């Protein structure tokens, strides 16, 4: 084990857990305060004390309140709060069926193995999240990856392979977690219709943060309902925990019966589900936060272009090798900015980066101060 740890250290890949506190804008680590540019709390909800007070006021103190669900949903953990939260999600997504799980990783590792079979093919974008790669490996279907956001490459594969398989799935993210760029959803839907495909869309980094009502990029692009399976997390923009699947009723029933990460996982506590539902009810009305977040992204993008890649609230500063990424992250922390060094093998070799992740609690002045610091350091 020491040899393995040393090899990670030599490659600049040794990770450590840092104990932090703080609020939506700042982290506090070892007594020092940093501007937080690494959080996925895109709407800045996690430390909104006014929202918290409003939520606690909705709880009935006379009600016997269960703080945990110490079993799986299929045993004794399927509390009424699940029904309530899933009904709210269903309404947000036009009446389609919703299924809530413990986290997004459990969804991405569990859905595809539950619904694809031998004789099916999965074509996944080269840069889909590690959880989706694990899900591909666990399933019985054959799978290949197409070049990132390259629909010409995808269509070449479809022309060659489509007729040999019963079902073919396209798997992609709407906003990619490490590059911040967006999938060509309209073209993917065209290919879906042309080749009779199924679409699995991960909206983890778009849900809450994008679209007029916060439901993500598919609806914002006028493609509502085109994803046969749409998934997202409740632990990023929504500042809660868990994740959800939006699909048709038959697929939902199949997942309940075959999805191992649902069947064998302890259910979420009712208090978390109530907090989730409380925020979901208010999500469409949070357009001002989304507009401010988009404004911050535009401001930072204009000051850093062409050094950045994706046009979203996730902005990678590509710096090259792992050691350089770590060194630059260290220098930014010395200047008071908490940024995360994302390294190979999480990203391709030679593309280690600082992943700047914006949230709506930040200010224009925060963006300007960071830009000045980066120009002096980077």
Helices 249-258/104-115 angle, 10° precision: 100
Catalytic position from the list 81, 86, 173, 181: 173
Catalytic position from the list 192, 198, 205, 313: 205
| Strand, helix or coil for residue 34 | strand
323 among known catalytic residues: no
Closest CA to 54 of 285, 290, 288, 294: 285
Catalytic position from the list 36, 38, 39, 40: 40
CB proximity list for 302: less than 8 A, separation 6 or greater: none
Is 316 in contact with 358 (CB distance < 8 Å)? no
Integer Cα distance of 81 and 100 in angstroms: 11
Catalytic position from the list 81, 202, 203, 226: 202
41 among known catalytic residues: no
Alpha carbon 182 to its chain centroid, in Å, reads 13
2 among known catalytic residues: no
177 among known catalytic residues: yes
Catalytic position from the list 36, 97, 177, 272: 177
Integer Cα distance of 136 and 322 in angstroms: 27
Catalytic position from the list 48, 129, 272, 351: 129
Q: Long-range contacts made by residues 221-228, C-beta under 8 angstroms, separation at least 24?
A: 221/185, 221/186, 223/185, 223/186, 223/189, 224/93, 224/94, 225/94, 225/96, 226/185, 226/189, 226/192, 226/199, 227/199, 227/200, 227/201, 228/169, 228/198, 228/199, 228/200
202 among known catalytic residues: yes
Catalytic position from the list 192, 198, 236, 313: 236
Active-site residues, by number, are 40, 129, 173, 177, 202, 205, 236
């Amino acid at each position: 084990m020491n040899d393995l740890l040393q090899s990670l250290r030599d490659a600049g890949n040794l990770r450590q857990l840092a104990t932090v506190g703080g609020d939506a804008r700042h982290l506090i680590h070892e007594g020092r305060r940093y501007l937080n540019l690494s959080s996925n709390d895109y709407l800045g909800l996690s430390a909104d004390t006014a929202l918290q007070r409003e939520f606690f006021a909705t709880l009935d103190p006379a009600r016997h309140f269960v703080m945990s669900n110490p079993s799986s949903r299929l045993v004794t953990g399927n509390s009424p709060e699940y029904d309530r939260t899933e009904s709210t999600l269903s309404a947000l997504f036009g009446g389609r069926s919703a299924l809530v799980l413990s986290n997004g990783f459990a969804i991405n590792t569990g859905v595809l193995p539950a619904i694809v079979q031998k004789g099916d093919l999965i074509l996944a974008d080269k840069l889909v999240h590690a959880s989706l790669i694990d899900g591909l490996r666990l399933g019985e279907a054959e799978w290949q990856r197409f070049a990132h956001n390259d629909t010409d490459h995808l269509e070449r594969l479809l022309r060659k392979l489509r007729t040999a398989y019963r079902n073919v799935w396209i798997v992609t993210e709407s906003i990619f977690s490490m590059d911040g760029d967006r999938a060509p959803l309209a073209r993917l839907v065209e290919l879906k219709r042309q080749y009779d495909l199924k679409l699995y869309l991960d909206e983890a980094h778009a849900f809450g943060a994008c679209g007029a009502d916060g439901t993500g990029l598919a609806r914002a692009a006028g493609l509502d309902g085109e994803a046969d399976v749409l998934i997202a997390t409740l632990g990023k923009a929504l500042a809660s925990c868990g994740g959800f699947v939006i699909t048709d009723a038959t697929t939902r029933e199949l997942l309940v019966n075959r999805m191992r990460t649902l069947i064998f996982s302890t259910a979420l506590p009712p208090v978390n589900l109530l907090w989730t539902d409380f925020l979901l009810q208010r999500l469409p009305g949070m357009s001002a936060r989304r507009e401010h977040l988009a404004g911050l992204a535009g401001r930072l993008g204009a000051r850093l272009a062409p050094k950045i890649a994706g046009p979203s609230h996730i902005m990678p500063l590509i710096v090259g090798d792992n050691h350089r990424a770590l060194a630059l992250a260290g220098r930014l922390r010395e200047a008071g900015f908490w940024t995360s060094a994302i390294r190979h093998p999480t990203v391709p070799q030679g593309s280690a980066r600082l992943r700047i992740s914006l949230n709506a609690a930040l200010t224009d002045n925060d963006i300007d101060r960071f830009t000045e610091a980066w120009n002096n350091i980077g």
